[in-house]
A = this chain, B = another copy of it.
Amino acid sequence: MNNFTFYSPTYFAFGKGTEKEAGRLIKRFGGSKVLIHYGGGSVIRSGLLDRVKESLNKENIEYIELGGVKPNPRSGLVYEGIDLCRKEGIDFILAVGGGSVIDSAKAIAAGAMYEGDFWDFFEGKPIEKALPVGTVLTIAAAGSEGSGDTVITKEEGMLKRGAGSEVLRPKFSILNPELTQTLPAYQTACGAVDIMAHVFERYFTNTKEVEITDRLCEAILLTMIKEVPRVIKDPNNYEARANIMWAGMVAHNNLVGVGREQDWASHGIEHELSALYDVAHGAGLAVVFPAWMTYVMKHDINRFAQIAVRVWGCHMNFANPEETAREGIERFKQFLKSIGMPTTFKELGAREEDIPLMVEKLGLGENGTIGSFVRLNSKDVENIYRLAL
């Protein structure tokens, strides 16, 4: 196990009706003038935004609103938010929505405390301060409610990039599984794949002797395998929604990823897909991950056999562990299909002829690599895209 630090100071309020706590929690964490940030009309139509505002009113907290966040959130709205925060003297940002809204809020929070262009942070500049952010989560997926990470797409060139900092961890996150019950099956499944992908990025590691985090990763995956089909079948299954929602937080606040080298190649490879076609991140991951697994499997057959046996319930073929490893990947693909996810470029609506463009935009150049489990160069990435055709 490697040395590590772990710091997850987010306060979580979980369960039915917890959005009513928003005002009280903003006050507890020092907010007095709030930017409420959200996406499209669904939080308005559902009445959620009204309930949240009511809870702020009860605490006499001032607020202004900025809606319009799109999936794969854009830099344009971030700039708008930063200006608004400065002009209005905002001291707290409340994100009401999913990962895109939270990521946009985090980018605004960092940008508002920085004199330069916030995009600097997405080109590597460390984020040292940010306005405090709270969240009311509406989809179990990105894990942004418990993480210090944000992913933003720069409209100029459709560049999708991530940034992260301890100071971006939300002060509080409100997780009410009821709010996710209205999600269509497709979005629910996309979120589930995102959660599982956050585990895979940590699970496939070259760090030896990490049993505790291996087992915790497997715990999340086993939960997803049980609970996701239940919500696809019955969207109103509160209990299954609740298990998935907490799993989504645990999958990405990094408790299960500490002390080990993590990979993250597949996220980078997927980002080019969702940036180019504006498809859901989870759907893109469903296409990329089985291809990545197949491509890198031979690097550590035992690890792939381990996940096949412990998570996918395969019987170990002791005479031929590679067969077990392959069976695990195959069961994952079957699982993805069973919950309505695409597993090929064709099903996703991506085109073979765009592969060179995506490889180029990934920007590895001649000598660059992505990932750490296996360091992939541009040619490897091209091969993985082609495996996913």
Q: Give chain B residues whose Cβ lies under 8 Å from the Cβ of A16.
A: 3
Residue from the list B3, B213, B223 in contact with A212, Cβ < 8 A:
B223
Query: Which residue of B has the minimal Cβ distance to A251?
Result: B212
| Cross-chain contact B15 with A6 (CB below 8 angstroms) | no
Stretch at the interface among A60-68, A242-250, A324-332: A242-250
Chain A, interface size category, equals 35 or more
Contact string, A1-27, partner B, CB cutoff 8 A, digits 1/0? 111111111111111111000000000
**Shortest Cβ distance from residue A241 to the other chain B in the assembled complex, whole angstroms:** 9
| Cross-chain contact B14 with A3 (CB below 8 angstroms) | yes
Could you tell me the distance between the alpha carbons of A5 and B172 in the complex, rounded to whole angstroms? 10
Could you tell me the distance between the alpha carbons of A10 and B13 in the complex, rounded to whole angstroms? 18
A216 at the interface (CB under 8 A from B): yes
A279 at the interface (CB under 8 A from B): no
A239 at the interface (CB under 8 A from B): yes
| Cross-chain contact B5 with A14 (CB below 8 angstroms) | yes
Query: Which residue of B has the minimal Cβ distance to A216?
Result: B219
| Cross-chain contact B219 with A14 (CB below 8 angstroms) | no
Which of A8, A13, A208 has the most B CB atoms < 10 Å from its CB?
A8
Q: Give chain B residues whose Cβ lies under 8 Å from the Cβ of A223.
A: 211-212, 215
Q: Give chain B residues whose Cβ lies under 8 Å from the Cβ of A244.
A: 212
Q: Give chain B residues whose Cβ lies under 8 Å from the Cβ of A208.
A: 239
Could you tell me the distance between the alpha carbons of A143 and B246 in the complex, rounded to whole angstroms? 22
Once A211-B243, A242-B259 are accepted as A-B contacts, the answer to whether A12 and B5 lie under 8 Å apart by CB is yes
Could you tell me the distance between the alpha carbons of A214 and B176 in the complex, rounded to whole angstroms? 20
A387 at the interface (CB under 8 A from B): no
| Cross-chain contact B258 with A14 (CB below 8 angstroms) | yes
A218 at the interface (CB under 8 A from B): yes
Once A211-B226, A220-B215, A255-B250 are accepted as A-B contacts, the answer to whether A4 and B11 lie under 8 Å apart by CB is no
Q: Give chain B residues whose Cβ lies under 8 Å from the Cβ of A222.
A: 211, 215
A210 at the interface (CB under 8 A from B): yes
Could you tell me the distance between the alpha carbons of A91 and B9 in the complex, rounded to whole angstroms? 21
Knowing that A4-B15, A209-B240, A218-B219 are A-B contacts, what are 6 other residue pairs whose CB atoms are under 8 Å apart, sorted by A's residue number? Answer: A1-B242, A7-B9, A7-B12, A15-B259, A211-B226, A215-B218
* 14 CB < 8 A contacts A-B: A1-B243, A1-B246, A4-B12, A4-B15, A5-B13, A9-B9, A209-B242, A209-B243, A211-B223, A211-B227, A212-B244, A215-B223, A219-B219, A255-B255
